[in-house]
Amino acid sequence: MKRKINVGIVDDEIFGRDFVEAILHNQFPDLEVIFKAVNLKDAYEKIIQQQPDLLFLDIELGDGSAFELFDKIPNLKSQVIFITAYDQYAIKAIKKDAVDYILKPINEEEFTTATSKALEGLNHNKEATNEIMLPTSHGLRRTKINDIIRCEADSNYTLIYLIDKTKIIVSKTLQEFEEQFAEYNFIRIHHKHLINLNHLTNYIKGKGGQVMMSDDSIIDVSIRRKISFLETIKNLGH
């Protein structure tokens, strides 16, 4: 199941934090605010622990400047939007590869435009990294994740079925792949089967039911996973 995009908000003023969260809630309901930080120390700890996709950063914080975070976290992966009452930091923000720089008081139209731009950047990054290196008996094979139709457990190994009709045996458990592919529209339908919903073509009713995949394979859905599976496919495209 596709995960939500995670957001962190860093602002030492409660009004600023709550105002940003309110706009996101109204304009971008698919985004999830996972933390709000009030100072540099708090922000650093939460960013390291929770790895947000998108960061809204006030610059002047009680215990320092938000720019210090870039020195402490040189490999920061988040898309960053600066929100500040001071306009003298614009050039420095651009040098930090910020998505945008918004002055307080926040203009909602500017905020929405900046957030949309950040989401486009996230999608571009995701498309660029939507590949996996699969270890095979002949070495490593670079594979697009969406070229994987399904995964099947085989003891401590996993069989990977690809759209080109090949099957790869990988020395990783199905549980590991379930966690790794959680954000790529894969779902566990059976203790032995993990499927890519992008390759689901049909559901056949039954006690647990069965699914037909794009390679014409037919796979059982376990009774205990049936309800959650049907709920998931019902929400596809919403």
pLDDT of residue 234: 82
If one compares 213 and 49, the residue with the highest pLDDT of the two is 213
Separation between Cα atoms, residue 231 and residue 71, nearest integer Å: 44
pLDDT of residue 177: 92
pLDDT at 237 over 60: no
pLDDT of residue 238: 46
pLDDT of residue 3: 61
Half-sphere exposure of 224 (CA within 13 A, CB side): 3
Half-sphere exposure of 227 (CA within 13 A, CB side): 1
> 74-89: per-residue pLDDT in tens?
878 899 999 999 888 8
pLDDT at 17 over 90: yes
Question: What is the DSSP code (8-state) at residue 2?
Answer: P
How many separate helices (H) and strands (E) can be counted in the chain? Answer: 7, 17
pLDDT at 165 over 50: yes
Percent of the chain with pLDDT over 70: 95
> 85-103: per-residue pLDDT in tens?
988 888 888 778 889 999 9
pLDDT of residue 44: 94
Question: What mean pLDDT value characterizes the chain?
Answer: 90
Complete DSSP assignment for 32-75: EEEEEESSHHHHHHHHHHH--SEEEE-SEETTEETTHHHHH-TT
Q: What is the mean pLDDT of residues 172-183?
A: 88
pTM summary value = 0.56
Separation between Cα atoms, residue 18 and residue 38, nearest integer Å: 12
CB 81 within 8 A of CB 102: yes
Structure tokens at 156: 């401590």
pLDDT of residue 127: 59
Separation between Cα atoms, residue 168 and residue 189, nearest integer Å: 20
pLDDT at 196 over 90: yes
Q: What is the mean pLDDT of residues 109-132?
A: 82
If one compares 122 and 238, the residue with the highest pLDDT of the two is 122
